[in-house]
Structure 1
Amino acid sequence: MAPAVLLLAPMLSAHSRPAATAVTRRAVLATSAAVSPLLAWHLSASAADTASVASTLRAAGRESKIDERKERELLDEMRKIKRAEEMEAAELRRLSAAQENRLALATNVESPERLAEEMSEDRKALEADEREIAFIREEYKEGMAKLRKERSEVLRRRPTSAIDRLRLKQD
């Protein structure tokens, strides 16, 4: 309310007589001197609130960057595993095609038993990789669910008003 008086005083004094202007200015100066501690407190409280909000926003930004980095790492790991799985599946198809091709069998220095054994080992390795990928996918889902839960918990605990921020400062 005092800032409004300070703003209106020059306008009022411009339209009044000189004698009244001196009185008005004195009254405004006296009022502003009395109100200035309150105004200073209001400004410092506002600055503290702004600093608190800024630090909260910075913390939220850091958290989101950490979450995004974890998510990117998990996705990169999934892509690498998928690429390796595709390469192993292609090798298995090539071995299977070589085993079925009679000309390749005739020119192959390895015996069909050896090829069958390699193919069996490759199938077992591929199945193990598929189980590992399923396990990693499950871990990824659990990790993402955990990240979402942590994020919602952080957002829920984040102060939303000046009263909440004061309570946090008192704790």
Structure 2
Amino acid sequence: MSDEQYRANELLPLEDEQIVSKVTSYLSNCIKDFKNATVTDKEIGRFPNSLTHFFPGSYKDMMRGSTSFPNLFMAGDWIITRYGSWSQINAEKLKIWFAAFPSQEKSYVTGLEAANRTVDYLEEGSFAKIIPVEEDEPHIQALRSLNRSFNEITAQFPLSSYFLQ
């Protein structure tokens, strides 16, 4: 399991065990079995005043899986994919397990996509089957639409690009 906490300044002064307890508590809200889980290993890094390369708004800077070179294909968690983001992959269907910050699943899917592009380019081999992400629930679709509309309106204001979106 991997977990990354964005804007988690309140965790910085805590002892490692306190952080593990908090994260386990957060996860048990989603998956009840986490409440009784035993953490066998941990690595906790504290990076004050910093961001990962997956900060809000970074999607627009992500790469595509195809390149200007006809025989070069990209894979990794920084690649745009039509099969969902790292938090949307249906891990049960992919036979892999994750929680909280599962970038390895997106790497796996974009790897399959790159392999499929290679098969297509070489006209040889078998295509990997990639199971698409399920549709969002209606309330999520409505909120995404509302958010897009809000962003379109605020983008028209002067200096709008200087504020976190």
TM exceeds 0.5? no
TM-score (norm 1): 0.22
Q: Say which one has the larger Rg.
A: 1
Point out the structure with the larger helix share.
Answer: 1
